[in-house]
């Protein structure tokens, strides 16, 4: 196991869509390293492109910071449905340290994905787990959390981030 370097915005790989995972067994070591990196960061989710691997894979653990370990590995995830009900959550991102944004997303989703054994999974997520999964899935499509903001809010957030990087 080893810690992986986390790409920081504006690395261009963070804006690129990822290719599907074709062999779950081939990413087992990567998944182990991604969990170690995520917990060390400390984050609740980490997508493969954030560590420079351009494949449709993310790991997450919505409850570990509260002492409830719920690790989840999602290969080739797809949102099958989402509720009309929305929730606004202040989201951070390991690739944009120190920057948070209030992002509105569906409060509950049905997520289909492949697990590490190659089996198809279909689960319903709500609360923090739904937000985390949507945030990480965005990374697989080359979308950052600040891309979900209106132009003025996005520009202000990125200007503050860029100014902080110059110091």
* Catalytic site positions: 136
Nearest residue to 58 (alpha-carbon basis) of 108, 119, 114: 114
Give the whole-angstrom CA distance, residue 163 versus residue 157.
10
Question: Given CA atoms 13, 15, 19, 20 in this order, what sign does their dihedral have?
Answer: positive
């Amino acid at each position: 196991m080893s810690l992986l370097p986390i790409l920081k915005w504006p690395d261009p790989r963070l804006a690129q869509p990822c290719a599907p995972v074709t062999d779950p067994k081939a990413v087992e070591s990567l998944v182990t390293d991604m969990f170690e990196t995520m917990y060390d960061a400390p984050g609740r989710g980490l997508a493969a492109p954030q560590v420079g691997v351009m494949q449709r894979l993310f790991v997450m653990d919505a409850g570990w910071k509260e002492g409830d370990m719920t690790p989840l590995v999602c290969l080739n995830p797809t949102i099958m449905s989402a509720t009309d009900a929305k929730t606004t959550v202040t989201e951070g991102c390991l690739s944009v340290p120190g920057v948070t944004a209030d992002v509105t997303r569906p409060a509950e989703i049905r997520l289909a994905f492949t697990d590490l054994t190659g089996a198809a999974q279909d689960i319903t997520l709500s609360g923090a787990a739904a937000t985390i999964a949507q945030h990480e899935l965005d990374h697989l499509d080359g979308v950052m959390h600040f891309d979900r903001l209106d132009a003025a809010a996005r520009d202000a957030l990125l200007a503050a981030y860029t100014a902080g990087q110059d110091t």
